[in-house]
Amino acid sequence: MKINEIGAPRGANRNTKRRGKGSGSGHGKTSCRGRKGAKKRSGRTTRPGFEGGQMPLIRRIPKRGFNALFKNVYQIVNVESLNRFEANTTVGPAEFKKAGFIGSEKEPVKVLGNGKLTKPLTVRAHKFSESAKKLLETAGAKTETIKLTTES
């Protein structure tokens, strides 16, 4: 058997319905669309989620809570991961991005107090947790808060 002798299996290829080709075809006159109404007309479409006039699912299920439109989602850096940097250097979002701690320099950064810091650093971030501030102070590090910029 050669590759050019292999064909499609039986029933894989079907002829298309040839609509509107006379009553003998079984798909004549109304072309499988039935009689009258919007479904018969050309250009008829329904919007996504339309359930034929029944109350749509999205409106039937209860809505809960509140979704703030302009909430700030912070990228998290733990104090322990700051040990990677050399002593007496200034580290901020650009350095965190380069080290792979965060995904984007443009989004705000929050430093959390997980672990211990062994080197004195100057840490620049948008927010610091209380425990992170204490840990940084005990290690002799300085904290600089970056002002949040709201881009519109």
So where are the chain's domains?
A: 75-145
Per-residue model confidence (pLDDT) at position 123: 96
For 12-89, strand residue ranges (E) read 75-78
Residue 125: strand pairing partners: 145
pLDDT of residue 44: 83
b/e map 61-81, b = 16+ CB within 10 Å: eeeeeeeeeeeeebbebbbeb
Q: Fold for domain 75-145?
A: Ribosomal Protein L15; Chain: K; domain 2 (3.100.10)
Residue 123, Cβ density class (10 Å: 0-12 exposed, 13-18 middle, ≥19 buried): buried
- Cα separation, 81 vs 117, in Å, equals 8
Please, are residues 135 and 112 in contact by the beta-carbon 8 Å criterion? no
- Does this model's pTM top 0.75? My answer is no
Q: Specify the pLDDT at position 151.
A: 56
Pair 96, 76: CB distance under 8 Å: no
Query: How far does the chain reach from its first CA to its final CA, in angstroms?
Result: 67
Q: Averaged in consecutive runs of 10 residues, what is the pLDDT profile of the chain (152 residues)?
A: 92 90 91 88 89 94 90 94 95 95 94 94 96 95 89 49
